[in-house]
Amino acid sequence: MDLVYKFHFTEKESDITILSESKEAIIRARKEFYHHRKILEQYVLKDKRFLKSFSPVKVKTDLSVINLMAEATEICGVGPMAAVAGALADLMLDAMKSDNILDFQPAKIALVENGGEIAVDSEKDMKIALYAGENQLNLNIGFLIQKKDCPIGLGTSSATIGHAISLGQADAATVFAKNATLGDAAATKIANLVKGPDIEKSIKKGLDAIDDIDGVYGAFISRENKIGHAGKIPQLIKIEGYKNGILKKKIEDLFPGDYEVFK
């Protein structure tokens, strides 16, 4: 289990990295992504509210990707698309860990990152670097995800990086939750609260919000020259050699370590 493969691919606005010791699990995860993305694309053509709303949208469907997004965003009070990346990551992770497939051995190491939203269930410790734009305070901060933390989902929302809409002013609001779908939605909700001239007060307001979201374990927020965290979060670690170059070397630096590239 020492050898871990890294596979990266993009599809339209999706930018995905998969880590696993199992090549077959990686292939299954990629196939699952395209399956559910196609379902989602077809669904939003018929339901424009689901695509554009900034508030929860109730649905009646047997489509797992739609239901995951609707349920998580209902809990967090945000629009369905706030959880799209996390939902796809969770469904890919489920495919890697499934024990209901004939002649398929579930992956022991399974991590999916989809545009910064991360789903993890691994027997091996995984290092994950935090990126908060040009905020110098966070250049060497990361998290150590251990077996005891898993399964876990990480969602990150930012007003200063990425293409997703944020109504707040956080450089990064990272949420740790029972899955990536909820983490994604909760990160959007919390990041939206981090705003105003008093930076410390704005961070506290965001952190206080996690108490009202079932399934959220903890949060880490950075804004300008201040950081704060609350609840239960994985072990904080220092990422050696992690510099501004992550913008150009995201695939190498977001998950520090030695991996065999799977093509």
Domain boundaries, the chain: 5-261
Q: Which residue has the higher pLDDT, 173 or 247?
A: 173
pLDDT over 90 (residue 104): no
Contact predicate 229/175, CB 8 Å: no
**pLDDT on residue 250:** 44
Contact predicate 163/74, CB 8 Å: no
Q: What is the pTM of this model?
A: 0.91
**pLDDT on residue 254:** 76
Q: Which residue has the higher pLDDT, 225 or 69?
A: 69
Query: To which H or E segment does residue 52 belong?
Result: helix 48-52
Contact predicate 229/141, CB 8 Å: no
- Mean per-residue pLDDT of the chain: 89
What integer is the mean pLDDT of 127-146? 75
What is the tens place of the pLDDT at every residue in 146-195?
A: 999 999 999 998 876 555 556 778 888 999 999 999 999 999 999 999 99
Structure tokens at 225: 């020259």
pLDDT over 60 (residue 252): no
**How far apart are the C-alpha atoms of 9 and 67, rounded to whole Å?**
25
* pLDDT band at 10; cut points 50, 70, 90: very high
Q: Is the peptide bond before 234 cis (omega within 30 degrees of 0)?
A: no
CATH of 5-261, one of 3.30.930.10, 3.50.50.60, 3.30.1440.10, 3.10.520.10: 3.10.520.10
* pLDDT band at 251; cut points 50, 70, 90: very low
**How far apart are the C-alpha atoms of 203 and 220, rounded to whole Å?**
9
Beta strands in 38-193 (DSSP E): 109-114, 117-122, 126-129, 141-145, 152-157, 172-177
pLDDT > 90: percent of the chain: 71
